[in-house]
């Protein structure tokens, strides 16, 4: 039977939209919305009297808490929701004793509320976790655990768009592992996979947490690094390449890294596809002139970004090491420094 994409239901679309709308809320905002909603339902429940049940609204709040806080905090909030509903009903019985029930019945109703809201929290938090896991799998390279090509391009577009019109700069790095095919041929694909995982982990450790790094296929990787200004591009690119080269050298295998680095402002990285092509062309210049080195390029500010020949080539890796001003953009490397 053909392997086809499952059809999106109305519920799944709503869940995805809810996840996108709430995932960036601050913790204070989440708690504020939860408590304001609960307080409103408590007041409404008390005003409607003992004849009308608003249990579905309490369950709705429990579902929202599970979605926002996760299972553990959601269960705590679920107990608070159940206790609040029971307290409202108890005070209503005090006001209208003709509707009162036995204490044992009240305790049983409280237990039923706790159990029901807890089940809602467990189910919704499980759905939320499953959705996050699927979104992570869809955006992640299965072998190395870093971003895949599609997710990298999507996040790069958002990152660059936020900084258009500013003086902030970017380094778009395109990396290829020299000698990788020979490692596969001599030591087997498992050794090659180990090299790819090692390189990806080293790269993630060598850059900052908010920078982007992805495997785009085979032994080719790409990264987007934010820098305060383009003047720091040479130094930061050299530092990243040096750290990665040290890690690969420690493997004892004949594998090195060729890197092309395009330094530009957000406004110059337009269109993004052409920018990636330029970084790729810089990397291939390294491959054609000796490998295991870095090539830095800058976009000619007087020409539009459209083709690899419209490029001002900067320094190679070893020629002017330290020529660019020292930068504190890079974090302390936990593995290669």
Residues 197, 130 within the same domain: no
Residues 154, 299 within the same domain: yes
Would 206 be classed as within a structural domain?
Answer: yes
H/E segment holding residue 241: helix 233-249
Can you tell me whether residue 258 is helix, strand or coil? Answer: strand
Residues 167, 302 within the same domain: yes
Mean pLDDT, 10 residues at a time, over the chain (337 residues)?
65 69 78 90 87 85 86 90 88 78 83 91 88 83 91 92 85 92 84 90 86 92 91 90 89 89 88 89 88 86 50 38 37 38
CA-CA-CA-CA dihedral for 294, 295, 299, 305, to nearest 10 = -90
Residues 171, 296 within the same domain: yes
Would 23 be classed as within a structural domain?
Answer: yes
Domain containing residue 110: 10-139
Predicted TM-score of the model (pTM): 0.68
Would 251 be classed as within a structural domain?
Answer: yes
Q: Which two tokens stand for residue 117?
A: 């809201």
Burial bucket for residue 82 (CB in 10 Å: 0-12, 13-18, 19+): buried
Residues 288, 171 within the same domain: yes
Residue pair 213/223 in contact (Cβ under 8 Å)? The answer is: yes
Would you give the end-to-end CA distance of the chain in angstroms? Answer: 52
pLDDT of residue 209: 85
Would 334 be classed as within a structural domain?
Answer: no
Residue pair 274/208 in contact (Cβ under 8 Å)? The answer is: no
pLDDT of residue 274: 87
Would 182 be classed as within a structural domain?
Answer: yes
**Number of compact structural domains in the chain:** 2
Tell me the C-alpha to C-alpha distance, in Å, between residue 103 and each of 86, 93, 106, 140, 330: 12, 11, 5, 55, 65
**CATH number of domain containing 232:** 3.30.70.270
Pairing, β 294-299 against β 311-316: antiparallel
Residue 70 C-alpha from the chain's centroid: 18
Residues 217, 126 within the same domain: no
Q: Which two tokens stand for residue 245?
A: 């080269």
């Amino acid at each position: 039977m053909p392997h086809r994409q499952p059809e999106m239901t109305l519920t799944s679309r709503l869940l995805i939209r809810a996840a996108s709308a709430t995932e960036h809320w601050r913790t204070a905002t989440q708690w504020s919305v939860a408590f304001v909603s609960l307080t409103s339902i408590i007041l409404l429940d008390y005003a409607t009297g003992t004849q009308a049940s608003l249990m579905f609204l309490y369950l709705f709040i429990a579902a929202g808490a599970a979605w926002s806080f996760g299972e553990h905090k959601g269960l705590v909030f679920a107990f608070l929701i159940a206790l609040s509903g029971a307290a409202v009903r108890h005070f209503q019985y005090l006001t209208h004793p003709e509707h009162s029930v036995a204490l044992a019945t009240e305790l049983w109703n409280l237990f039923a509320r706790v159990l029901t809201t807890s089940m809602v929290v467990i189910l919704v938090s499980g759905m939320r976790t499953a959705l996050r896991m699927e979104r992570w799998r869809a955006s992640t390279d299965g072998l190395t655990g870093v971003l895949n090509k599609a997710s990298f391009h999507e996040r790069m577009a958002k990152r660059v768009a936020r900084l258009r019109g500013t003086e902030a700069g970017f380094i778009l790095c395109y990396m290829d592992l020299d000698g990788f095919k020979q490692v596969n041929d001599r030591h087997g694909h498992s050794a090659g996979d180990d090299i790819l995982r090692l390189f990806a982990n080293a790269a993630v450790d060598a850059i900052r947490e908010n920078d982007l790094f992805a495997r785009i296929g085979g032994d080719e990787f790409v990264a987007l690094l934010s820098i305060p200004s383009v003047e720091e591009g040479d130094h930061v690119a050299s530092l990243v390449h040096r750290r990665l080269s040290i890690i690969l050298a420690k493997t004892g295998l004949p594998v090195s890294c060729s890197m092309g680095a395009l330094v530009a402002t957000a406004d110059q990285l337009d269109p993004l596809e052409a920018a990636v092509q330029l970084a790729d062309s810089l990397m291939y210049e390294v491959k054609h002139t000796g490998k295991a080195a870095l090539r830095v390029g800058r976009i000619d500010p007087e020409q539009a970004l459209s083709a690899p020949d419209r490029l001002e080539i900067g320094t190679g890796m070893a020629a002017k090491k330290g020529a660019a001003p020292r930068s504190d953009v890079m974090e302390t490397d936990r593995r290669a420094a």
